[in-house]
Structure 1
Amino acid sequence: MSQQGSAGNVIAALCNVFFPGLGFLVQGRILAAIVTAMLVFGGYALFWLVVPAIIGGLIHLWSIINAATFKGDRVIVVRDE
């Protein structure tokens, strides 16, 4: 999953649609998966307060987009001249 829009990123985005944070686990981003799942499920659990549910929905949408546009490991090459 090194390039944006790769098949792995599409699979991760689809995983995030059905279970928030699962796509991040597929990509190997464990902390992002845990935080996303906690925030989304916490927001959805407080649906009667409206605002947390909206925030949970926005974080859910963000997680789908972020998984789809993930660029992977960035390698920086430094040349000694």
Structure 2
Amino acid sequence: MSGQGSGGNVIAAICNVFFPGLGQLVQGRILAALIFAIIAFGGYALWFLVVPAIIGAIAHLWAIIDAAKFKANE
């Protein structure tokens, strides 16, 4: 990946729109992908408690932004 705004980062951000953490997985960041997926889906699973659902939504948005702004250490 070239850096912020590169085609790879745009694809990773779009992947995150559909499945939280998938964009990080596309970028090769397995631990970040797992953390984002667990927090987002855990929050969505507990939607009836309201606060976890909000936390899940924030994690989902954060995953999208994180994938879009990722810069690889080269």
With the shorter chain as reference, the TM-score category is over 0.9
Moved over 6 A (4+): none
Distance 1:53 1:71 in 2: 29
Aligned residues: 74
Distance 2:49 2:3 in 1: 39
1:54 paired to 2:46: no
- 1:2-81 aligned at under 5 Å gives the runs 2-73=2-73, 75=74
Give the Å deviation of 1:2. 2.5
Structure 2 spans left out of the alignment, 5+ residues: none
What's the % identity of the aligned pairs? 72
* Structure in which a larger fraction of residues adopt helix: 2
Give the Å deviation of 1:3. 1.2
Structure 1 spans left out of the alignment, 5+ residues: 76-81
Distance 1:40 1:18 in 2: 12
CA-based RMSD:
0.7
Q: Which amino acid aligns with 2:22?
A: L
TM-score (norm 2): 0.97
TM-score (norm 1): 0.88
Distance 1:31 1:4 in 2: 20
Q: Which amino acid aligns with 2:14?
A: L
